[in-house]
Amino acid sequence: MSRKIPSVLDLYNEWRSQCLFRKTGAWPRKVLSLDNVKDQDKLVHFEKFIKTLENTDGIIDWKLYIESLASFYEGWFGPDLLNSQKSIHIYKTAINIKNIEENTEDIYLGILRSLKFVVAYCNENDLHDFDSYLFDDSTLFPTILKHLSAGSITFYFLALIPNIDVTLKAFPNDVRDSCAADFLAKYKNLKNSVFSVKKIREVRDFVGLINKLITKGEQMQKT
DSSP characters over 42-57: GHHHHHHHHHHHHHTT
Residue 29 has pLDDT above 50, yes or no: yes
Judged by average pLDDT, the poorest of 50-54, 62-66, 194-198 is 194-198
More confident residue, 82 or 191: 82
Three-state secondary structure call for residue 194 = helix
Tell me the C-alpha distance between 70 and 155, whole Å. 32
pLDDT of residue 25: 76
> Cα angle at 72 between 69 and 76, to 5 degrees?
65
What is the chain's mean pLDDT, rounded? 87
Tell me the C-alpha distance between 143 and 163, whole Å. 18
User: Maximum distance among all alpha carbons in the chain?
Assistant: 82
Phi, psi of 139 (to 5 degrees): -85, -15
87's enclosing H/E stretch is: helix 85-124
Tell me the C-alpha distance between 71 and 73, whole Å. 6
Average pLDDT over residues 47-51: 94
Residue 223 has pLDDT above 80, yes or no: no
- Return the beta strands (E) in the chain as ranges: none
Residue 1 has pLDDT above 50, yes or no: no
How many helices (H) and strands (E) would you count in the chain?
11, 0
**Own/partner pairs, 90-93, CB within 8 angstroms, 24+ separation:** 91/60, 91/64, 91/65, 93/68
pLDDT of 82-140, one tens digit each? 999 888 888 877 776 665 555 778 888 989 999 999 999 999 999 999 999 999 988 88
pLDDT of 146-155, one tens digit each? 898 878 898 8
